[in-house]
Amino acid sequence: MATGTDAKTAGGNVLIDGDSQPAKERSCQKGFCSVRHGLAIILQLCNFSIYTQQMNLSIAITAMVNHTEASSQPNSSTAQPSVDSQGTWNETLREANPLAPVYNWSPEIQGVLLSCLNYGSFLALIPTGYVAGIFGAKYVVGFGLLVSSVLTLFLPLAADVGVALLIVFRVIQGIAQVMVLTGQYSLWVKWAPPLERSQLTTIAGSGSMLGTFIVLLVGGLLCQTIGWPYIFYIFGGIGCACCLLWFPLVYNDPGSHPFISAREKRFIVQSLSQQDCSPGWSLPIKAMIKCLPLWAIVVSYFCEYWLFNIIMAYTPTYISSVLQASPKDSGILSAMPFVVGCICIILGGLLADFLLSRKILRLITIRKVFTAVGVFFSCMFLVPLPWVRSSQGATMAFLVLSAASSSFCESGALVNFLDIAPRYAGFLKGLLQVFAHIAGAISPSVTGVLLSQASSSELGWRNVFLIAAAVDLVGLVFYLIFAKAEVQDWAKEQVLTHL
């Protein structure tokens, strides 16, 4: 979106001229002591909770499965004595937690359990964003968080009852989590002043990295000390606690919030006064299909999540297999890139808004530069990994730098849909998440095939990183050519006038 020196509005982002409000009022809006920043912190906690609930089974399943008898009774979900001879890790689990049940699940059953979280997600993504945009995100997001958290608490019981009930719980949980991850963007359409949009969305989004970091860091330790069920009890309880904050403190817009100051409410309303953010019942599907700037974001989402899902799924495997790290050390090392990414996401959002508020760069330039930096440098640090595998320090440094670089995309292409069509933000976020899920379904499978068919581990990982980098760079080129940042004509409310 173009942002001129005369503070004109170009599309969705509106710059407030220095004379449009008193300097005293404008200065009081700076900083983090505001209701809208409090909303960002609450959403950060919600995203933290959702991502820990997404990954807790991936950590716990190593302790839930009886590896000795897994192949003999593949469909059984009956708890068996913890008889294990698979090395120090399983022996430690057995000694420290003799009462935690284990199950005779085959690798096929385990794969279904890990992937069924996404079974209902494809069907729920777009309707959830649409409903949140029309009826408000407060109850859509809050209900999704509550359902996901309560089901997390009951997952150990479901595992005892049988595989079928566990799968049903996971499918429902996946739909509920989509409600949280997609519906929340409808809030920012009415809460985020254009000059703070990047920082508010990145503060909220950093909860995903923080959740991934924490569950990787403490998940293995919980399994080893007090038992795998407590992974679900602890993180499910945290989610329920977040609900106690969400329902009384979050409102769909500043006008309905009982605790917001009149000054902050006026500041938000004035900053969004020229932006059409009222949702519409009808969707301009044909215009969306023909919109190249929207396709630029779609392609960028698919390509960036291709690499992101590989990192999410295979970082622990890469560290444990290539660096020969123990399970405990592997969890700690795997968590390092994500905590750095969490910090850099927030810093990237602050930097983007600083550049925009000081009129150093136009909005479209900020989106493209941040996307280019995120994609190019993350690929540059990932591709050489197979050649530095002999050095643990160099490997971890490259992984951390790659995560830090890719976090800049959160202030680039990944938030660009709020610029071009704010009134359809919920629907578009659901649409974009569909393509992100498609990338997540394809890229780990392709990675598995490349690793299994390669003549050596080094060659397999080399192919994985080269292909991922190529996909990411193709998406970057497409985005740089076609991306825009002004509100599109089809996203503007049509006002009929009569003579």
The domain spanning residue 457 has which CATH number? Answer: 1.20.1250.20
What DSSP assignment string belongs to 211-280?
Answer: HHHHHHHHHHHHHHHT-THHHHHHHHHHHHHHHHHHHHH--SSGGG-SSS-HHHHHHHHHHTTTS-----
Same domain, 249 and 145: yes
Is the residue at 381 inside a domain? yes
Q: What is the rounded distance in angstroms from the CA atom of residue 100 to the CA atom of residue 121?
A: 31
Is the residue at 98 inside a domain? no
| Residues of the chain under the 70 pLDDT cut | 1-32, 67-99, 107, 129, 133, 274-281, 326-328, 493-499
Q: What is the rounded distance in angstroms from the CA atom of residue 78 to the CA atom of residue 94?
A: 17
pLDDT confidence of residue 494:
55
Q: Which range marks the domain in which residue 47 is found?
A: 33-67+103-271
Same domain, 336 and 364: yes
Q: Within 10 Å of residue 263's Cβ, how many Cβ atoms? A: 14
Q: In angstroms, what CA-CA distances link 21 with 18, 93, 157, 279?
A: 7, 63, 58, 28
Is the residue at 83 inside a domain? no
Question: For the whole model, what pTM was predicted?
Answer: 0.73
Q: Which of 248, 271, 294 is the endpoint of a domain?
A: 271
Is the residue at 177 inside a domain? yes
Same domain, 45 and 146: yes
Same domain, 43 and 166: yes
* Two tokens, residue 57: 């089974």
Q: What is the rounded distance in angstroms from the CA atom of residue 333 to the CA atom of residue 375?
A: 23
Is the residue at 385 inside a domain? yes
Q: In angstroms, what CA-CA distances link 440 with 155, 305, 343?
A: 24, 7, 24
Q: Which of 271, 302, 321 is the endpoint of a domain?
A: 271
Whole-number CA gyration radius for the chain: 23
Please give the tally of structural domains in the chain. 2
Q: What is the rounded distance in angstroms from the CA atom of residue 360 to the CA atom of residue 368?
A: 14
pLDDT confidence of residue 151:
96
* Identity of the residue numbered 48: F
Is the residue at 276 inside a domain? no
Same domain, 267 and 405: no
- φ, ψ for residue 59 (rounded to 5)? -80, -45
Is the residue at 23 inside a domain? no
Is the residue at 91 inside a domain? no
Same domain, 292 and 267: no
Same domain, 301 and 240: no
Spell out the long-range contacts of 382-389 with Cβ–Cβ below 8 A and sequence spacing 24 or more.
Answer: 382/307, 382/465, 382/468, 382/469, 383/465, 383/466, 383/469, 385/318, 385/461, 385/465, 386/458, 386/459, 386/461, 386/462, 386/465, 389/322, 389/323, 389/458, 389/461
Same domain, 349 and 449: yes
Same domain, 411 and 462: yes
Same domain, 396 and 320: yes
Which secondary-structure segment (H or E) carries 26?
helix 23-27
- φ, ψ for residue 84 (rounded to 5)? -145, 135
Q: Which of 271, 298, 327 is the endpoint of a domain?
A: 271
Same domain, 223 and 372: no
Q: What is the rounded distance in angstroms from the CA atom of residue 315 to the CA atom of residue 318?
A: 5
Kindly give, in sequence order, each residue whose CB lies less than 8 Å from that of residue 239, ignoring residues fewer than 6 positions away: 49, 50, 53, 145, 146, 148, 149, 152
pLDDT confidence of residue 233:
95
Beta bridge partners of 13: 10
Q: Are 257 and 22 in contact (CB under 8 A)?
A: no
Same domain, 340 and 260: no
Q: Within 10 Å of residue 470's Cβ, how many Cβ atoms? A: 14
Could you report the per-residue pLDDT of 161-189, keeping only the tens digit for each?
999 999 999 989 988 998 898 888 888 88
pLDDT confidence of residue 72:
44
